[in-house]
């Protein structure tokens, strides 16, 4: 298994290099001008100088490799230095990936935004999994019961209604009409005592629920289908014929088998947490990664967008690998060789 | 063997049904099983052998399956009406079940040892160590080499024959009074089949349990059974001691089955014989003899009423109007 993981990681390197090139090339080809947002009074010569200072005078290939070096070597070194307090080599003059809009290193921007995203989006994913699995199990075990029908109806809603609609709906109901919950997420809020904790919960409630509904709808459907598949298997009858309790039959024998594909689906969904829920963050003004990406796109901040997109790509590749490894751990029939 | 019956089934009826269709899979089946007896159950595919036996322990998915009537007496309790907790005590402990398909009947994600230890821990309250020791003994009992080590293997690491042995070991785990084996050898090749037959014969004497052995092979039954029950269209059509059945098969269906057997010297008569016609559809409770459309000796009465089991000799009964007194079956119809 370790060898398999290592091999997959090695294969991931050329894959990621190819992806990085495509991302870089696509964004580079896109018609955008980093100086377009500057005041019109700035003369063209100055604009040209700004462009040159951003490195745009260099040929495409040179820029690509420089970006690659900055992203793959300089930034990780920098993060390492910040975490450990060491000084590795010439850290003063090391070139970092700089945002065109803010002139600050892209990594710093991301690190600043990540906690909000992880809290809101990550929490919503955890909640989604925690409610989706039991719902899927019960729906399948009591197929066509009232519980199942209601579950099916709600997950159909969660599945088909986009988050910008449910988000706005919740804001209208709970912020505008009832005034119970804040409609804007206050990032500067610090949890100090019970009251501030309650406020934190309140402001997280709506964005978390909107995302949890969407995710739970999907996962509970997978769970239900997988349970139904397994409930009809012969081994379930064997388990019953042994005189096991129904609880053991369902929660040990059937659930264990049903979780195999569902865990994969859950693992594959994790990168979307880091990607941030772009729309939901936008609606609730959570200044997380998703919102950062939108700002980057609107401001033609190519380095920022390149870096973020590439980080998403890495996460997707990594979690694909993790999903495969978990699959192998859960299913003894899978052999890695 | 004239001891008391351990299992007594009376008038069992099982229906698969939704609003739009019904399959009357078991129609008024009665039989009893004595202590230590080996009852062979034969009949072609779809005759209701598996459904009958699964009904006994209420193992059929419900819905669609429904036991409409009947009694299944085991240790003074009617299993049809027993509460779930007491039924669980019977399942796996009083009655062991070996299912038809060994490839899918074991849970693929648990080790064989885990699955074998489960009934021991549930019913007999064994702790981990004791259960493990007993599980290894059981694997040895069914003839699996290096049982201790194989406990930690998963079902996919076993061959079909080995998995069937594991299934038998699971069924035997709690020393049940009755073992129901549903075609435990059909999926296996001939040598393994013979080994498993020997194994069950052997274990039966060692453990003194009664066995119900389902098969569609009369040849297999001849070798091991004390008594044989022939099923057709969800009914018992003939029931007799094994010698009586082979010497004097009475129901035309039994005779037709016998005719499909290879003769004693090993060559088949003519070509491979099959019984002409289709098995009945069972979409309604039978109003006539289910075998009538395929029967060579059919007459009007067969199409008007379904014959009950009629005793032709002590311990030998057939559900055929020809066996009724005055119909002249003994004169060799
Ligand atoms: N789940 C089900 N739903 C509807 N009908 C069923 C179901 N299971 C079995 N039947 C029907 O019950 C009848 C008896 O089936 P059963 O499995 O008992 O046959 P069998 O004698 O065991 O045959 P085989 O030798 O092939 O195992 C068949 O007509 C079959 O179509
Ligand atoms: Mg069968």
- Residue B331 pLDDT > 60: no
- Residue B277 pLDDT > 80: no
- Residue B271 pLDDT > 70: no
Chain B residues whose C-beta sits inside 8 Å of any chain A C-beta: 54, 57, 59, 61, 84, 88-93, 96-97, 99, 101, 104-110, 115, 118-119, 122-123, 154, 156, 167, 170-171
Residue of A nearest to B101 (CA): A234
Q: Where are the domains of chain B?
A: 5-94+174-261+274-331
Contact of A249 with chain B, judged by CB distance below 8 Å, is answered with: no
- Specify the residue for token string 């809603």: A157
Contact of A237 with chain B, judged by CB distance below 8 Å, is answered with: yes
Query: In this structure, are residues B320 and B329 in contact, taking their beta carbons and an 8 Å threshold?
Result: yes
Residue range B16-34: mean pLDDT, rounded: 88
Question: For A96-141, what is each residue's pLDDT tens digit?
Answer: 777 877 878 888 888 888 888 888 888 999 999 999 999 999 999 9
Query: In this structure, are residues A327 and A117 in contact, taking their beta carbons and an 8 Å threshold?
Result: no
- Residue B272 pLDDT > 60: no
The domains found in chain A, sorted by start residue, are 2-84 (no CATH), 106-330 (1.10.3720.10)
Q: For residue B181, list its beta bridge partners.
A: B98, B213
Farthest CA pair distance, chain A: 86
Confidence of residue A291 (pLDDT cuts 50, 70, 90): confident
* Closest residue CA from atom 27 of ligand 1: B45
Pairing of strands B65-74, B95-98: unpaired
Residue range B277-284: mean pLDDT, rounded: 79
- Residue A224 pLDDT > 80: yes
How far is the C-alpha of B47 from the C-alpha of B280, rounded, in Å?
Answer: 9
Residue of B nearest to A233 (CA): B104
- Residue B24 pLDDT > 50: yes
* Cα A234 from chain centroid (whole Å): 38
pLDDT of residue B273: 54
How far is the C-alpha of B78 from the C-alpha of B80, rounded, in Å?
Answer: 5
- Residue A319 pLDDT > 60: yes
The two tokens of residue B245 are 């059945």
Q: Is the peptide bond before B63 cis (omega within 30 degrees of 0)?
A: yes
The residue among B315, B316, B318, B299 whose CA lies nearest residue B307 is: B318
pLDDT of residue B324: 77
Confidence of residue B265 (pLDDT cuts 50, 70, 90): low
Q: Is B15 in the pocket of ligand 1 (CB under 6 A)?
A: no
Query: In this structure, are residues B33 and B176 in contact, taking their beta carbons and an 8 Å threshold?
Result: no
pLDDT averaged over every residue in chain B:
86
Residue range B215-220: mean pLDDT, rounded: 81
How close A227 comes to chain B (CA, Å)? 14
pLDDT averaged over every residue in chain A:
87
Question: For A33-63, what is each residue's pLDDT tens digit?
Answer: 777 767 777 788 887 887 777 777 788 888 8
Confidence of residue B224 (pLDDT cuts 50, 70, 90): confident
Q: What angle do CA A126, A131, A135 make, to 5 degrees?
A: 150
ipTM above 0.90, yes or no: no
The CATH fold assigned to B5-94+174-261+274-331 is: Rossmann fold (3.40.50)
Q: Is the dihedral of CA A218, A221, A223, A226 positive or negative?
A: negative
Confidence of residue B2 (pLDDT cuts 50, 70, 90): low
* Closest residue CA from atom 17 of ligand 1: B50
Contact B167 A238 (CB under 8 A): yes
Question: For A177-221, what is each residue's pLDDT tens digit?
Answer: 998 988 888 878 888 889 989 998 998 899 999 999 999 999 999
Distance B182 CA to ligand 2 centre (A): 6
- Residue B152 pLDDT > 90: yes
Q: Which of B12, B13, B14, B16 to mutate for ligand 1's pocket (most ligand atoms within 8 Å of CB)?
A: B16
Query: In this structure, are residues A265 and A216 in contact, taking their beta carbons and an 8 Å threshold?
Result: no
- Residue A278 pLDDT > 60: yes
Residue range B111-138: mean pLDDT, rounded: 94
- Residue A290 pLDDT > 70: yes
Q: Indicate the length of chain B as a whole number.
A: 333
Residue range B257-263: mean pLDDT, rounded: 73
pLDDT of residue B82: 93
Q: Is B99 in the pocket of ligand 1 (CB under 6 A)?
A: no
pLDDT of residue B274: 66
pTM of the model: 0.85
Looking at per-residue pLDDT, the higher value among B67 and B282 belongs to B67
Exposure string for B58-86, b = 16+ CB within 10 A, e = fewer: bbbeeeebebeebebbbeebebbebeeee
Q: Is B55 in the pocket of ligand 1 (CB under 6 A)?
A: no
Contact of A233 with chain B, judged by CB distance below 8 Å, is answered with: yes
pLDDT of residue B333: 42
pLDDT of residue A77: 81
Q: What is the DSSP letter of A161?
A: S
pLDDT of residue A229: 95
* Cα A45 from chain centroid (whole Å): 42
> Which class for A288: exposed (0-12), middle (13-18), buried (19 or more C-beta within 10 A)?
buried
Distance B231 CA to ligand 1 centre (A): 12
How close B191 comes to chain A (CA, Å)? 25
């Amino acid at each position: 298994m370790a060898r398999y993981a290592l091999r997959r990681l090695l294969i991931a390197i050329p894959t990621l290099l190819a992806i990085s090139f495509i991302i870089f090339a696509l964004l580079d080809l896109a018609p955008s001008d980093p100086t377009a947002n500057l005041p019109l009074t700035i003369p063209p010569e100055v604009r040209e100088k700004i462009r040159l200072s951003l490195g745009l005078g260099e040929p495409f290939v040179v820029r690509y490799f420089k970006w690659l070096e900055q992203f793959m070597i300089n930034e990780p070194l920098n993060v390492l230095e910040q975490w450990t307090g060491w000084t590795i080599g010439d850290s003063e003059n090391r070139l970092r990936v700089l945002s065109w809009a803010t002139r600050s290193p892209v990594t710093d921007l991301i690190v600043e935004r990540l906690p909000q995203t992880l809290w809101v989006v990550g929490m919503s994913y955890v909640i989604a999994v925690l409610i989706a699995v039991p719902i899927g199990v019960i729906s399948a075990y009591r197929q066509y019961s009232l519980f199942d029908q209601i579950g099916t109806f709600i997950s159909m809603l969660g599945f088909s209604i986009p988050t910008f609609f449910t988000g706005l709906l919740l804001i209208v109901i709970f912020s505008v009409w009832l005034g119970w919950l804040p409609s804007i997420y206050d990032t500067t809020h610090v949890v100090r005592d019970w009251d501030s904790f309650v406020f934190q919960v309140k402001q997280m409630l709506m964005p978390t629920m909107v995302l949890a509904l969407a995710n739970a709808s999907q996962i509970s459907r997978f769970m239900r289908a997988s349970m139904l598949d397994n409930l009809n298997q012969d081994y379930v009858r064997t388990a019953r014929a042994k005189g096991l309790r129904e609880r053991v039959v369902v929660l040990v024998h059937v659930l264990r088998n049903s979780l195999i594909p569902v865990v994969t689906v859950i693992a594959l969904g994790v990168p979307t947490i880091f990607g941030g829920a772009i729309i939901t963050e936008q609606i609730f003004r959570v200044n997380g990664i998703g919102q950062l990406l939108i700002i980057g796109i609107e401001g033609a901040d190519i380095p920022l967008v390149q870096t973020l997109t590439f980080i998403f790509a890495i996460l997707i590749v990594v979690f694909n690998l993790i999903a495969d490894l978990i699959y192998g751990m859960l299913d003894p029939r899978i052999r890695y060789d | 063997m004239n001891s008391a019956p351990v299992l007594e089934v009376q008038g069992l009826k099982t229906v698969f049904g939704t609003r739009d269709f019904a399959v009357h899979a078991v129609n008024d089946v009665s039989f009893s099983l004595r202590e230590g007896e080996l009852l062979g159950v034969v009949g072609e595919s779809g005759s209701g052998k598996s459904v009958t036996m699964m009904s006994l322990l209420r193992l059929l998915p419900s819905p669609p399956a429904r036991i409409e009537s009947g009694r299944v007496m085991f240790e003074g309790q009617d299993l049809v009406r027993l509460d779930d907790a007491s039924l669980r005590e019977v399942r796996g402990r009083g009655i062991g079940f070996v299912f038809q398909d060994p490839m899918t009947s074991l849970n693929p994600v648990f080790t064989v040892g885990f699955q074998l230890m489960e009934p021991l821990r549930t019913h007999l309250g064994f702790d981990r160590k004791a259960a493990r020791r007993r599980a290894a003994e059981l694997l040895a009992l069914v003839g699996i080499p290096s049982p201790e080590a194989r406990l930690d293997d998963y079902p996919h690491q076993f061959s079909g024959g080995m998995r069937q042995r594991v299934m038998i070991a699971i069924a035997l785990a709690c020393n049940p009074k009755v073992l129901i084996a549903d075609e435990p050898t059909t999926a296996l090749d001939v040598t393994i089949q013979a080994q498993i037959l020997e194994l069950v014969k052997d274990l039966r004497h060692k453990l003194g349990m009664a066995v119900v052995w389902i098969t569609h092979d009369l040849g297999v039954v001849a070798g091991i059974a004390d008594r044989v029950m022939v099923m057709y269209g969800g009914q018992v059509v003939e029931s007799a001691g094994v010698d009586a059945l082979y010497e004097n098969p009475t129901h035309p269906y039994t005779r037709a089955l016998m005719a499909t057997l290879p003769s004693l010297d090993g060559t088949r008569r003519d070509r491979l014989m099959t019984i002409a016609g289709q098995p009945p559809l069972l979409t309604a409770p039978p109003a006539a003899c289910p075998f009538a459309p395929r029967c060579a000796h059919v007459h009007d009465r067969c199409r008007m009423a379904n014959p009950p089991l009629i005793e032709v000799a002590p311990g030998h009964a057939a559900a055929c109007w020809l066996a009724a007194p005055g119909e002249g079956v003994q004169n060799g119809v």
